Each structure stands twice: as structure tokens, then as C-alpha cells.
Structure 1
Amino acid sequence: MDELLSKHRKEQKDLQGRITQKKKSATKKTRRGINDDCERMQRELNERHQTEIAQLNGEPLEPVEALEDLNLDDEAPADIESNENKTPQDAEPTPNPAEEQPTQTKKPNRQKARLARRAAEQAAAAEAAAEEAANQTNYRGDEKEVMDAVFKKLGLKEIEVNPDGHCLYSSVAKQLDDSGLGLRPDPSRIVLQPTTQSRIDTVASPQHDGYRAVRAVTADFIDQNKDDFEAFMEEPLDVYTRKIKLTAEWGGHLELQAIARAYGVEINVVQSDGRMEKFEASDMDSFDEEEKRKRVIWLAYYRHSYGLGEHYNALTKQS
């Protein structure tokens, strides 16, 4: 029994790890289905464990169908009535228990039998589901393989960035600093708010807290060009820009477009399927070739390889 319980504890721990991984990779569209799937997995594992314990204790897994509605304590009504009308002299002699053959068997526990049968059926379904899951596509491994092939083809080197919700802005901040452009955009492109200027001035290290400055610049640019962005928002402009500036809300297409225009850069995003998406300012043709090369930012966008879900890493050209 100790060995079985130890095995059950390990399986519960492994399942919790899988459930945590699945929930972290959920999106708004898939979250409900993933939660249902996780609840099903936990329920099926619990029921399989109950079945294995029942088997180890020698409890039956299948009820005896003929006994399903049998009550061994019932007597025929006519026999009960006739016995009640008999005098003690007329009553049949009490049989000697030692002479009874064969010995009466113990009444089966129908409820336990039904539970064990149901648990066995669910355990079989869980095994089938596990086998099906084992044959599913390895999204994480495939994604990494595709990305590495693209990096090699384009001569890019990947730089890991903390998966903390600020990854997009941290990746941009590092490359702005490395290229010499800096975190303060050209005043002709954007009028910085005093709080944004303060964030830029107090950045200790672009690689570690530069995201604060890039977030503030992005929020200011969207606010000052709301006609270009507001139609694509699902919430009021002030709420949207406040999240960009003050929280760890993930960035996406709108933010990438705002960053490209605010800093006058071209942003190339390598996708998990090998495609590349480009965001750039409208006046890139005004720069000479050397300046254009300086104003290119590379990002790697992952969907499956990180526990929190979507993630950006910085990319640089190999020397």
C-alpha cells in the first residue's frame, strides 16, 4: 500500500505540473476549454487512484448483476403472516446453526461496487486520453526548431529576456541602447509628458529597467495619436494607456506600431511558424542606408515555449 500511495503522490505532482503549464499557456479564447480539460484530468486521476486502492484491498470492481436489487433480509409477506398466527407449539423448531449447509455468504456492498465500476470505466477513459495526448504535436519542440533555423538563416543571435510581462519593452529598450539611439525619442515625433521624461531620466540600466521608459513613451504616443489606435481598442483610451504605462500588461501589434513610429525604427518580429512581421515608421525612406541599418530592431515571438504564454526575446545580428 505504501508503494501505491507513493506512486499516487508522484502522479498527482506530475499532473499539477501539467495543469499549471496548460493554464499558463491559455489565451482568452482557449482559457475555458483548458480549464475544463484540467478539471477532467484531475477528476480522472483521482478516480483511477480510488480504483487502484480498491483493487489492492480486494474490493470488487464489477457488481453481481443478479444481486443488484436483491434484499437478503426480505421474507415473503405470506410467510410472515402465517408465522405470526402460529402458537409457540405450532411453530417450526429452530434449526441448529451448526447443521445449516451451506453457510450464508456476506451481503455485497452494492454502492461500493457501483463506484468501483464507474472508477474503472473512467480510468480506462483516462488512459485512452493520455495515449492520445502522447501522440499530439510537440508544439514547444517544433517551435524552437523552427525559430533556431530562422535565426541561423538570418545570422541572428538570441538574447533571453525575463518572461515577466515587460519582455516586449525590455527587448526594445536593450536594442535602442545598443544601437546608440537611446530611450528618449526625437522631440519632433512625440511630446513627452513630464512623468515620462522622469522615467527616462531615472532608468538605471536599459537592460533591466529600461522597459519603464519604453512603456511610458508608447503610452504617450498612442494618447497623442488616438485616431490611429482607438478604433482597435476594446476599452477606453485612458484605461488602455494607463495599463501600458503602469502595469505589466503584455504588448502586441498596437504597441509595436506605436514604438516604431515614436522612435523612428523598423521592428522585425520573427514568428513561431517562421514568418516575419514588420512594423516601421512612415518616414524610413528619409534615412540613408547606414542610418537605416542602425534603426532596425529584431524580436523573437514565442507562443508555446514559455510558461506564462506569449513571450518576446531580443535578437541581434551576429558579428
Structure 2
Amino acid sequence: MDDLMAQLDSRDQNVQAESATVLNDMQVNKAAATPPPPPTPQNDESKARARYKARQARKAAALAEQYAPSDPEADARLKKEADDEERMIKRVCDERGLEIFEINPDGHCLFSAVADQLAILRIIPPGQANYATCRHAAADYIHSQPDIFLPFLPAIGGEDAVGATSQEGLMTRADFDRYCLTIRDTGAWGGEPEILALASAYNVPIHVVQGGTPPVVIHQPFGSSQQGNATDKHVVHISYHRRMYGLGEHYNSLRPKRTLSETMKSVFTGT
């Protein structure tokens, strides 16, 4: 009797294995026979969302690198990338008579860098030159122009997220409102949407110097044809770093270079 039961169990297992193989072959054949979806043309809005998603992916990768096990080869590669980036940014700064003023890497760096520049340009008083002022300005401007900024902001959780609109996965209005509050009241990193908002809120071009191509990215106020040039003094200059401090994305303020006499005066007066 035991031998008979063992034979039956063995037969059941063989049948199950054969069935699984047949089902797998059917699924493979079905997938091979299914034509790929037709390509869809990319417009400016989808490109903007793609850039936003790429930035989010880079941020996640940067955070992952901080907690990854030490790898001498990877560390050496990152150091070289950081050195190359610093050299390229310094070259552009030298051409424009600028120097890096380092901003604290605390999540507010974009807003602190722009605030420093706005004070130098006397657009805002020194007492208001802080990240909180610029966070409020950016959030308020974005919130006042949903038709402009929604294309830059994919739905939270992706295009297939519950509650995404039918327009290729854009944020819902409720998510958009929450996004603006997050930018205003937390230490969330700012990026391209916030730079565009600050340029428009303060009606000043913002030039972002980076270690990539192009070396200078110009953000002008919405509805304005002014871009400013390399010698224009009424321009906000900030630098964008991907490898500085090994923390991923970071922004610094680019101040005009001081003469020797100005530097000596600063040493003795603390200004």
C-alpha cells in the first residue's frame, strides 16, 4: 500500500511539473505574439516630466550611495567626477568674474543660494535674505500658476498611481496643493520648477552654472524675453553640483570676485 501511494504522489508531481511547463510556454508565446505599443511623440510637457523624474532618480541614487558599503574603486571614480565638475564650474566662474560662496547642504541650499544673490542685487533686504523667504515666494508663485507648473510635476507615485489625472499621469489638484505646502514649509529639495518660479516671482534671470553641457543653463522669468549675458550685473548666478560633498545635488551662490583691497577690508571689518 505504501509503495502504491508513493507512486501516485510521484505521478501527481510529474503532472504538475508538465502542466507548469506548458503554461509557461503558452505565456512566452503570447508575449512574443503581442505587438509592442506604438511610439508616442514627446512634447515639451512630457520632456519636463522626464527631467523631473530623472532628478528624483538621481536623488534616490545619491542617498543610496551614502549607505552603500565602501568600494575603493567607486570612491576613486566619484572623487574624479567631483574634481572634474569643480574644475569645469571654476572655469566658467573665472570667465565671468565670479567665485563660489558655499551654502550649507541642508536641503534648503537652492533657496539659500538664491536668497544670497537677491540680497547682493538689492532685490530683497539683507534681513529677508534667507531660505524661508524664497521658499514662500516659490511656493506661492507655483500655486498661483497651476497651468504652467503642473506639466513639470508627475503624479506622486507615478503615472499609474491612484488618483493620477488622465493627462499622462499629472498630479491631481489636491496633490498639487500639498506639493506647494511641502516646498513652503519643509526641507524638501528644490529644482527646476522652483528655479523657474523664483525667476518669475522676482523678475530676474537665473543663470545656473554646472559641470555638464551646457555649462550655463538660463532660466528667465515667464513672459520675459530678457536672458542676461555673461557681463550683465542684474542676474542671479548660482552653481549646481551633483558630486559636491558626495551628497548628490547641491546649489551654491556665485558672488562677484573681490579685489585684493576688498578682501583685506573684509578681513579687518568682518564684512
- TM-score (norm: length of structure 2): 0.58
Contact 2:85 2:210 (C-alpha < 8 Å) held by counterparts:
no
Give distance in 2, aligned partners of 1:316 and 1:283. 27
TM-superposed deviation, 1:293: 3.8
TM-superposed deviation, 1:140: 1.4
Matched letter for residue 191 of structure 2: G
Aligned 1:1-319 pairs, distance under 5 A: 27-29=59-61, 34=65, 38=68, 130=72, 132-133=73-74, 136=77, 138-182=80-124, 205-207=127-129, 210-234=130-154, 235=156, 236-273=175-212, 275-285=215-225, 293-318=232-257
Q: What fraction of aligned residue pairs are identical, expressed as a percent?
A: 32
Matched letter for residue 241 of structure 2: Y
TM-superposed deviation, 1:233: 1.3
Decide whether aligned partners of structure 1 residues 283 and 140 sit closer, same or farther in structure 2, where only a CA change above 3 A counts.
same
Q: Secondary structure at the match of 2:122?
A: coil
Q: Secondary structure at the match of 2:59?
A: coil
Deviations 1:137-162 (A, max 9, x none): 61111111221122112211211111
Deviations 1:225-258 (A, max 9, x none): 0010112213311111011100011110000001
Give distance in 2, aligned partners of 1:277 and 1:286. 14
Deviations 1:38-61 (A, max 9, x none): 35x5xxxxxxxxxxxxxxxxxxxx
Give distance in 2, aligned partners of 1:315 and 1:158. 5
Deviations 1:268-297 (A, max 9, x none): 00012261101011454589x9xx945310
TM-superposed deviation, 1:29: 4.9
TM-superposed deviation, 1:318: 2.9
Give distance in 1, aligned partners of 2:200 and 2:114. 13
TM-superposed deviation, 1:179: 1.1
Deviations 1:171-228 (A, max 9, x none): 1111112211116xxxxxxxxxxxxxxxxxxxx8345xx2111101111111110010
Aligned length: 179
Decide whether aligned partners of structure 1 residues 315 and 135 sit closer, same or farther in structure 2, where only a CA change above 3 A counts.
closer
Decide whether aligned partners of structure 1 residues 167 and 135 sit closer, same or farther in structure 2, where only a CA change above 3 A counts.
closer
Give distance in 2, aligned partners of 1:261 and 1:278. 13
Contact 2:90 2:99 (C-alpha < 8 Å) held by counterparts:
no
Matched letter for residue 214 of structure 1: C
TM-superposed deviation, 1:30: 6.4
The structure whose RCO (Cα within 8 Å, separation 6+) is larger is: 2
Task: Compare CA radii of gyration and give the structure with the larger one.
Answer: 1
Decide whether aligned partners of structure 1 residues 161 and 29 sit closer, same or farther in structure 2, where only a CA change above 3 A counts.
closer
Decide whether aligned partners of structure 1 residues 145 and 219 sit closer, same or farther in structure 2, where only a CA change above 3 A counts.
same
Decide whether aligned partners of structure 1 residues 230 and 38 sit closer, same or farther in structure 2, where only a CA change above 3 A counts.
same
Give distance in 1, aligned partners of 2:234 and 2:75. 45
Matched letter for residue 223 of structure 1: H
Contact 1:264 1:283 (C-alpha < 8 Å) held by counterparts:
no
Contact 1:300 1:315 (C-alpha < 8 Å) held by counterparts:
yes
Gaps of 5+ in 1: 1-24, 42-128, 184-203
